[in-house]
Structure 1
Amino acid sequence: MKKNFLLLNILLTLLLPSNIVFARSQIYQGKCGFLLSNIFVDKCSALFNKGILTIMPKGAPQERIYPTQIESFSLSSKETIKVNQDLDKWQRLYPEQSRGFLFFKKKEGIPRWVVDATSKKVTEHKFVINYVDSYIFPRKVLFVLEDKSQAAAMQLSLRKTTGLYLGEKRKPGGSLSPSFSRKITKEVERKAQRIMGLCAAGMYEDSSPVISELNAYVENTINEISIFEKYELIANKIDADAIKTIAFCENKKVEELTQAKEAERLAKVKEIEEEKAKRLDAFEMLSSY
């Protein structure tokens, strides 16, 4: 029974492509605005997949946001969308925008749907996501759902992806929550199981991109969680899991190569013995004359 289950698991691993969209992946359509850059796009998608949020504005580069990059998310309003104008850091980071939309409520050239998002009235389908990008710059993205009925679903997607509640802030120096720590380790385990399934079946070329994906995930995650207390516990675990998985594949390749060489050697020995027997027979036949 156990053997059959293992075989079924390997078959499923091999048959399902790594980029398949499961029920745990969701995509939402709407409009988005990168508020600190004054970039606003009328057609935009928000994809939640494999624990990562990807903002996909039409005709513009995608923005991949890992969970630990997100400081908070909230419903858009006059209070949640603003920044602290007294901080000199903002002007140093964004000198060209320091007199722009967020700071002095500049409205010229700003789409109406963005201005409406600063209303005192809170609506359920407008979200502001605060995060730190891959260049370690603070960012604010506004996402306005096209279908208002999906508001609760998107809020749940944000909750499950970030491990935060609506309006809750991720504080540097604090501890990673147990649930979020489990989420990270489970994602590494999922990727590792797929890799080992491929390597167990000798599909080393197919395992290569998944190994790259695992390495990137581990590296990015460790970088992102480094601001939290005792992050090393999770960092060491996922790093060790990745190393163990890759070592399994390397050892499997070496084992198969060794077996192949041994089989080749035995085949050669057999061939030599067969030719030896033929030679002996030939000499014996000649010696009878």
Structure 2
Amino acid sequence: MAVTAQMVKELRETTGAGMMDAKKALTECDGNMDAAIDWLRTKGLAKAAKKADRVAAEGLIGVAVTTGRGVAIEINSETDFVAKNTDFQALVRDVAKTALEVGESVEVVKAAALNGKTVDEVLGEAIARIGENMTFRRLHILEGDTIVSYVHNAAAPEMGKIGVLVALKGDAAKAQEIGKQFAMHIAATAPISLNEASLDPAVLERELQVQTAKALEENATSAKPKPEQVIHNNIIPGRMKKFLEEVTLVNQKFVMNPDVTVAQAATEAGVEITGFARLAVGEGVEKKEEDFAAEVAKMVGA
């Protein structure tokens, strides 16, 4: 596969690697972006890439909560200007409330009644009225004894660029109080899973492969190489432990008090976190970038 300048640019922006390193990684991996990221990490030339760094969709995350149940939805728009439109915000609020009542999937919510029409019909009318394409892209339902919500970069009450739900069990008043702090923590740190048991095995295996290759390569070029037994029994497990501390919620250092983990903070408060959801606008969506001059020329019919 031919390696293009745009691919090199994307890899550099994603990993922070140099131009020649990015180009070499893509060449070595036949243009496969994920493999190139791992290649750079193996060589110690990049940190773990966050796919969210590459997205550029607009819109809002809306949250709604009732006793024992919460929902977070994402409705995308073409521009951030529309996301600030009160008409669009009302749509997000109404769809979130509907999803809280009937939500099982996006399709189910689209077919549900809203102001005498289906949600899908209401969305279509909003597109025609506002003059910009919109997409009801996804939702996440979370259930538990106590559900706490939080939105970051709020555009209006219960909607913003990042929406978080946290499920807890224990004293309801304490859960509400500390739950808000946990939700803010999740918004800031973006954990992948609640704990190691709920982490996708494929993610764990991929990280193990990267850390193994990296440790062996570093050892091979070291002036004082260590026995392979030390690499496999000490260094690699140590790095995997650090990885789990970074990506699993309960093992992360609590941003409100870095002296304790999130799990320890929950225990001290007499509660237990049983689940969470974090939605950020545009995760996994790539927005086409156009040359500005070409865009202007297109608009004037040149």
What is the TM-score with the length of structure 2 in the denominator? Answer: 0.22
Between Structure 1 and Structure 2, whose CA radius of gyration is higher?
1
What is the TM-score with the length of structure 1 in the denominator? Answer: 0.22
- Higher RCO (C-alpha 8 Å, min separation 6): 2
